[in-house]
Structure 1
Amino acid sequence: MSKKQKFISRAIHLVDIENQVGSPRCSVDEIKDWFEHYSFTVNLGALDIVVFGVTNIHNIFAVRQSGISARIVHKFGPDGADIALQTVMEDEGLDRRFGRIYCVSGDGGFAEQVGRLGSTVQVHVVARRSALAKCLELAAGSVILLPEAIDRKEAAAALRHVG
């Protein structure tokens, strides 16, 4: 496999964790549980890159304490995680570096970037149905729906049952 093929076969996962957990303040356990379920659902690859967007210092520490290997981008204030992740989408040439992009948010503010990137690379939007903006759904190449709430015991049981 050539170096170019390696880059094309891997994916980047741009995660608005506050949107996914459904709270502006995430606990370490919520992040771990969500990520375990997410990784299984999308079949997270060993070479994939994960980027968490956050809006406050508490969530920076919670992501770090979760032990998940991820880059953290942040912008404090309203829509900070969205803005930080949109900056990555705009400025980092993702369509040249990755074969797949996962926009892990339901916020409509991502529709423009998802539509633009989707013209040159495979883009998947991952969100809970209740948190998925219609304009983002329409811009997406595909949508992967996550459950509305992930109960820790139910998620662990489901993973044991499948594995």
Structure 2
Amino acid sequence: MGIGFTNRLAAIMYTRKPAFGRRIVLIDIENIVGGGVLMPEQVQAAQAAIAAAVVPRNDDQVVIACGRFSIDVVGFEWRGPRRLVFRAGMNGADLELLDILETERVGDRFAEIVLVSGDGIFAEVVSRLGLHADVSVASRTESCSRRLRMAAKRVLDIDYDPNAIMEAA
């Protein structure tokens, strides 16, 4: 075996493998409910509205981000497998999701990325990830930034009225 064969073999072994059909769904739940999550009904209604817009698949990797004061309600009320992340402070949930999008190689590991948020802070990373994966944004129509809409390949509208939940409670 010559050195050329070894180099070719190494290139084959470490070539990026396509992420056949894998999908990650990253959710900023506070963006959907319009603020901190205080009641179980908010989580239940948000999950139903998100599922209507982003039809869930059995093999989805779901990541839910929220602030420190929402973690208990979200953690107990969200149904199904998920990874729950939180951070205190202004834009804590956004910063957690940004960290995942920027440091966990999601563009290499997933063929499809769905970001459930309307915050413009994600526009640049969504645009960049769109070069490697199919990136969609799901958001309430009135709370999705124009920059984020333009960065995504597809925008899905979530039908959730934060006032309806508060009035029912």
TM-score normalized with structure 2 length:
0.80
Q: Please report the RMSD computed on the Cα atoms of aligned residues, expressed in angstroms.
A: 1.7
- Equivalenced residue count is 147
1:161 match: none
Give SS of 1:9's match: coil
Question: What amino acid is the match of 1:136?
Answer: L
Q: Which deviations, in whole Å up to 9, do the C-alpha atoms of 1:24-57 show, x marking residues without a partner?
A: 234222112211231232211000011111112x
Question: What amino acid is the match of 2:35?
Answer: S
Give SS of 2:20's match: helix
- Residue 87, structure 1, aligned to residue 104, structure 2: no
1:134 match: 146
Query: Aligned partners of 2:132 and 2:113: how far apart in 1?
Result: 11
Give 4+ residue runs of structure 1 displaced > 6 Å after superposition: none
- Residue 13, structure 1, aligned to residue 31, structure 2: no
2:125 match: 113
Structure 1 unaligned residues grouped into runs of 5+: 153-163
| Cα offset, 1:67, TM superposition | 4.2
2:40 match: 28
- Residue 78, structure 1, aligned to residue 90, structure 2: yes
Query: Aligned partners of 2:61 and 2:83: how far apart in 1?
Result: 8
Query: Aligned partners of 1:80 and 1:126: how far apart in 2?
Result: 19
Query: Which one has more relative contact order, counting CA pairs under 8 Å at least 6 apart?
Result: 2
Give SS of 2:51's match: helix
Structure 2 unaligned residues grouped into runs of 5+: 1-16
- Residue 43, structure 1, aligned to residue 72, structure 2: no
Query: Aligned partners of 1:35 and 1:25: how far apart in 2?
Result: 12
- 8 Å CA contact 1:53, 1:85 repeated in 2: yes
Q: Which deviations, in whole Å up to 9, do the C-alpha atoms of 1:85-138 show, x marking residues without a partner?
A: 000000111111111101100000000110010111000000011110111111
- Residue 53, structure 1, aligned to residue 55, structure 2: no
TM-score normalized with structure 1 length:
0.83
Distance 1:10 1:23, change over 3 A: same
Equivalent residues in 2 for 1:139-158, closer than 5 Å: 139-149=151-161
- Residue 62, structure 1, aligned to residue 65, structure 2: no
